[in-house]
């Protein structure tokens, strides 16, 4: 069962994304605006995962090759991202009245654009493109900007809530990493040690 989930994680999250998109459309008028946007963002994120992993793909391979880091399973990067997506998206969908939860994925939509643009220079890519850039700019960014503007204009969040949202992003990625690392049989502390070692070795 574990191997099935690992190997087919992208297809499974795609099915879930389609289901959530259908539910969002069918219940559009009854849903709060922010919850609608989270539903749409999940579908955009599914397209983003496909661009990173399959068409054209290569995002995980680009990072592991450049950082000289070899994962035990070639689906490692996909699983981390899929787990992260589930954590950061499902909570806002189930708790739509906690607006700062919904702002976490929207902040992620902006950070994804920054990260993919930075990857072009960081990894010295020949083209002005890194796998995932198109969907992050065309799909995720507009949804994020619209939702953030809506929340600000309607005073739906206090200043401290933005810190909660950012903290939720950090906690989510750490949780996703731990899920995958422990599934692979590695201690999380050893994983972090390996990552730090490869990054610092690359800088020398």
Integer angstrom CA distances of residue 172 from 87, 91, 101, 154: 6, 11, 11, 27
Q: What percent of the chain has pLDDT over 70?
A: 74
Q: Which residue has the higher pLDDT, 200 or 94?
A: 94
Place 28 in a pLDDT band, splitting at 50, 70 and 90.
very high
The one-character DSSP state at 72 is S
Place 8 in a pLDDT band, splitting at 50, 70 and 90.
confident
Number of H helices and E strands in the chain, helices first, is 10, 0
Closest to 134 in 3D by CA, of 13, 197, 48, 200? 48
140-178 pLDDT, tens digit each: 999 999 999 999 999 999 989 999 998 988 887 777 667
- Range of lowest pLDDT (26-40, 136-150, 184-198): 184-198
66: Cβ contacts below 8 Å, ≥ 6 apart = 122, 123, 202
pLDDT for the residue numbered 139: 96
Place 82 in a pLDDT band, splitting at 50, 70 and 90.
confident
Q: Which residue has the higher pLDDT, 37 or 202?
A: 37
Mean pLDDT of the chain: 81
């Amino acid at each position: 069962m574990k191997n099935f989930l690992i190997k087919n994680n992208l297809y499974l999250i795609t099915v879930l994304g389609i289901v959530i998109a259908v539910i969002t459309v069918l219940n559009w008028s009854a849903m709060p605006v922010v919850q609608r946007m989270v539903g749409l963002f999940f579908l955009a994120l599914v397209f983003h995962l496909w661009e990173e992993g399959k068409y054209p793909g290569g995002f995980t391979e680009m990072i592991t090759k450049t950082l000289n880091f070899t994962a035990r399973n070639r689906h490692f990067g996909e699983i981390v991202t899929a787990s992260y997506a589930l954590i950061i998206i499902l909570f806002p969908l189930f708790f739509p009245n906690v607006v700062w939860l919904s702002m976490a994925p929207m902040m992620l939509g902006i950070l994804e654009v920054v990260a993919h643009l930075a990857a072009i220079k960081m990894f010295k890519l020949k083209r002005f493109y890194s796998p995932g850039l198109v969907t992050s700019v065309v799909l995720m960014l507009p949804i994020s900007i619209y939702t953030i503007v809506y929340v600000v204009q309607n005073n739906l969040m206090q200043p401290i809530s933005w810190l909660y949202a950012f903290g939720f992003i950090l906690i989510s990625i750490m949780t996703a990493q731990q899920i995958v690392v422990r599934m692979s049989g590695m201690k999380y502390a050893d994983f972090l040690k390996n990552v730090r070692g490869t990054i610092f070795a690359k800088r020398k």
